[in-house]
Structure 1
Amino acid sequence: MLTVPNILSFFRLALVPVFLVLLISAQDVAALVVLAVASATDFLDGYLARRLNQISRLGQLLDPAADRLYLFAALLGLAARELIPWWLVAVIVGRDVFLAVLGIILASNGYGPLPVHQLGKVATFALFLGLPIIMLGVAFPSLAPGAEPIGWAVALWGAFLYWWAGIIYAIETARVIRLPQPAASVRSDTLEG
């Protein structure tokens, strides 16, 4: 449990409230620095986990949890300051609620989570790129004329792809639960990952 990659993940998680407080209190440069440090530790923990052969189930759970928390913190902080509309928050959070419902459906049918779809990764990357670009335009007003439209374009494209991936997950969930039901001991681990 206390591997170097997991310690980095815990550190990244501990920075989420720091990031949110900085963002809400309009300390944009400091918030961007915390986000950059969190991004670096995200890359580093994955690299070290593979390099040191320290991949763990805990690490596989912490990494996406931290990603979601940073995404929600950025959305909430920017919306609280009226830099993005609340409907964008609802669209993105709604998709994650939708996926949670799909997870419950899968679990109730004896399946684990579906593998991450490449489109979902691209969508998440677009959101993680677009929102900080919007923040960059706020932190440095001289960059705003270029940063704002680019940030908005990337963030909106990310939100669209986020839902597109969600629909793919829904279709895949429907397909999986319609499969012939093999023995219970085999079913529970068919879609782990």
Structure 2
Amino acid sequence: MDEQTVGEREHVVSERWVTIPNALSVLRLLGMPVFLWAILSERDGLALLLLLVSGVTDYLDGKIARAFDMESRLGGFLDPIADRLYILATLFGLVWRELIPVWLVVVLLAREAVMVVMLAFLRTRGQLGLPVHFVGKAATFNLLYAFPLLLLAHRDDWLGHVARPVGWGFAWWGVALYWLAAILYAVHARLVLRGGPPRVATT
């Protein structure tokens, strides 16, 4: 086990595989292909339900991990992977159905490309990853709130009229926070390379 200090609180990042948070992350990953099929086949009710379940389990796995000292290296790997896959699947589905513009996808994928390059560079310097930042999680939550609303925005009834501005509000906040998180990760990476915070194995 590795011990690390955040502020003045010491906690343990374990090597355990079988934990409740990890099971929730695996459940999210298993639901992703079903979600993609649902959104592409215009089964919007099922797609919305799976997005809701994904958001709830994303919140619960982090909450449980911190509250019951179940943070693990596997969980630190699976959680951001599941987040990114749901975001990418949703973007693909919404663009395929022409519900969102291509530029939004380009902006979000450009941020992902920046993070991939940054993490690859850190690995060449012996750094296995960076801790998940709360701004990054806030960005993910905003985007996961935006997507179901944007899925409803194409409706011509009152629900679509309400969902459209609210959904785009969450989308704009999500994009802004997504890029802000990338900047904060870059600052943190610079500190790490200068010998600042200790190494961690989460991403």
Q: Please confirm whether the aligned pair reaches a TM-score higher than 0.5, indicating the same fold.
A: yes
Amino acid at match of 1:28: D
TM-score (norm 1): 0.83
Determine the C-alpha separation between the residues in 2 that align with 1:5 and 1:169: 24
CA contact (8 A) 1:112 1:190 kept: no
Larger helix proportion of the pair? 1
CA contact (8 A) 1:12 1:41 kept: yes
Determine the C-alpha separation between the residues in 1 that align with 2:18 and 2:134: 30
TM-score (norm 2): 0.80
Aligned partner of 2:86 in structure 1 is: 70
Match for residue 155 of structure 1 among 156, 165, 171: 171
- 5 Å-filtered alignment, 1:85-164, equals 85-138=101-154, 141-164=157-180
Could you list the runs of 5+ residues in structure 1 that have no partner in the other structure?
181-186
Determine the C-alpha separation between the residues in 2 that align with 1:176 and 1:43: 28
Provide, for residues 26-58 of structure 1, a one-character-per-residue CA deviation record: whole Å limited to 9, x for no partner: 111110011112223223333444455433221
Q: Do structure 1's residue 174 and structure 2's residue 182 form an aligned pair?
A: no
Aligned partner of 2:199 in structure 1 is: 191
Aligned partner of 1:81 in structure 2 is: 97
Cα deviation, residue 139, structure 1: 6.2
CA contact (8 A) 1:29 1:139 kept: no
Residue 191 of structure 1: SS of its match in structure 2? coil
Could you list the runs of 5+ residues in structure 2 that have no partner in the other structure?
1-16
Amino acid at match of 2:71: I
**How many aligned residue pairs are there?**
185
CA RMSD of aligned residues (A): 2.3
Residues 56 and 140 of structure 1, relative CA distance in 2, 3 Å threshold:
farther
Residues 57 and 70 of structure 1, relative CA distance in 2, 3 Å threshold:
same
Determine the C-alpha separation between the residues in 1 that align with 2:68 and 2:192: 35
Residues 8 and 117 of structure 1, relative CA distance in 2, 3 Å threshold:
closer
Determine the C-alpha separation between the residues in 1 that align with 2:86 and 2:164: 20
CA contact (8 A) 2:58 2:79 kept: yes
Larger strand proportion of the pair? 2
Determine the C-alpha separation between the residues in 1 that align with 2:165 and 2:28: 29
Amino acid at match of 1:114: L
Q: Do structure 1's residue 22 and structure 2's residue 30 form an aligned pair?
A: no
Determine the C-alpha separation between the residues in 2 that align with 1:122 and 1:107: 25
Aligned partner of 1:37 in structure 2 is: 53
Cα deviation, residue 140, structure 1: 7.9
Residue 127 of structure 2: SS of its match in structure 1? coil
Determine the C-alpha separation between the residues in 2 that align with 1:45 and 1:161: 22
Amino acid at match of 1:89: V
Determine the C-alpha separation between the residues in 2 that align with 1:50 and 1:118: 13
